[in-house]
Chain A
Amino acid sequence: MKFKILLTLLVCATLIAAAPAAYDLGDTVSDFKLKNVDGKMVSLDDYKSSKGVIVIFDCNTCPYSRAYNDRIIQLNKKYGPKGFPVIAINANSPDLSPGDSFNEMVSQAKKNGYDFPYLVDETQNVARSFGATNTPHVFVLQNDNASFKVAYIGTIDNNARDASSVTRKYVEDAVDQLLSNKEVTKSKTKAIGCGIKWKES
């Protein structure tokens, strides 16, 4: 009995120690490698030659994700060529959200003409390490001598409902400032979103 308790405590301690704290501004992001909708693996290290990356935790099913879909595609069209391409990651458990299965991701990417990776985070470890909570949740990473540092965390802009009524483009402002070697003035924002569908632990 005592042994069992000890063992449980040990396992818990290991789990706590193994769970890294979520990234904050300025933190260096560890490399990750996830499967893309085309079946190939994509890693952050593949982007070592770009100025940075716009990582977006997204999904197929959330109304906010759907509302932002066009804007995410436009972000990649505008900032991909400038050195900040989009990487979209879906961490939703397909058991809890069947519309987010890998097959559904493939058809979503095809239907909407994604010209950026749409990766599946099956273990949800990447989403946890970033501290992603809802969709879409954006992390702008700046390439600082081949290590990626978090420069912006939050939402895309200040009007989810209506793109034409947006008055603050948070992600664009942040990337523009990074591109002109300025400090990001608004580096953290929040928005209502669908919680990431975490697997039952």
Chain B
Amino acid sequence: MWRVFVCLVFAVTSATAQKVEVIKFDRLEELMTTQSDKIQVINFWATWCGPCIQELPYFQNLEVQDPSVKVTLVNLDYADKLKKVNSFVSKNKITSRVLLLDDIDYDAWIDRVDPSWGGAIPATLFINTASGQRKFVDRPLTGAELETLIKSVKSTK
């Protein structure tokens, strides 16, 4: 009986901790362009980036509180750090989707996220695919700033 219990507990805990998926840029581009009824919030971060980690809870809360928002946390650690990223995600109980972008030829894709981006992180892209509204910010955000930005992409022109 106890074996069943252990198995169950194990199944539940491993189901809640998400496994970070490793992707190439084309997958991200698909996400940025596919029509969606949700506001896409795509945040670029890394485990070594202090200001990025500081703002992660705002994104997590945003998605929990606002069902019209879909948050994707694009991790830029190197792919050989996947284990570290996975344990960071489970330790910090991150439920928003995390994708590890394993595409080291940065110059090939940074402009395709936003031409104004120099490559510094944290950076966040807000897309309303329905209206075509788009906002890009390449600096750390506060919770209040995040709300204002969401409102501005939600509003119809």
Contacts and interface: CB of A to CB of B under 8 A. Distances in A.
A155 B106 contact: yes
Contact of A158 (B51, B105, B119): B105
B106 A134 contact: no
Contacts of A159: 104-105
Main secondary structure of the interface of B (DSSP, over half): loop
A106 B45 CA distance: 30
A192 B52 CA distance: 13
Interface string A168-197: 001000000000000000000111111110
Contacts, number: 56
Contact of A192 (B106, B111, B139, B140): B106
B119 A190 contact: yes
Nearest to A157: B107
Given A133-B119, A190-B117, A194-B121, A158 B138 contact: no
Interface string B32-54: 00000000000010001101000
Contacts of B110: 190-192
B106 A133 contact: no
A196 B49 CA distance: 12
A160 B105 CA distance: 9
Nearest to B118: A133
Contacts of A80: none
A7 B122 CA distance: 35
Nearest to A135: B120
Contacts of A161: 78, 104
Given A133-B118, A195-B139, A189 B51 contact: no
Size class of the A contact interface (CB-based, 8 Å):
10 to 19
Contacts of A190: 106-107, 110-111, 117-119
A155 B105 CA distance: 11
Nearest to B122: A195
Contacts of B140: 195
A147 B105 CA distance: 33
B107 A194 contact: no
B76 interface: yes
Interface in B97-149: 104-107, 110-111, 117-122, 138-140
Contacts of A160: 104, 106
A91 B122 CA distance: 18
A141 B90 CA distance: 46
B76 A192 contact: yes
B112 to A, nearest CB: 11
Contacts of B76: 192
Given A63-B48, A133-B138, A195 B120 contact: yes
Across the A-B interface, give the 7 residue pairs with the lowest CB-CB distance, nearest first: A195-B120, A133-B118, A134-B120, A190-B110, A191-B106, A189-B107, A190-B119
Interface of B: 44, 48-49, 51, 76, 78, 104-107, 110-111, 117-122, 138-140
Interface of A: 63, 133-134, 137, 154-155, 158-161, 170, 189-196
Given A191-B110, A192-B106, A195-B121, 5 more contacts: A134-B119, A160-B106, A190-B107, A192-B121, A194-B120
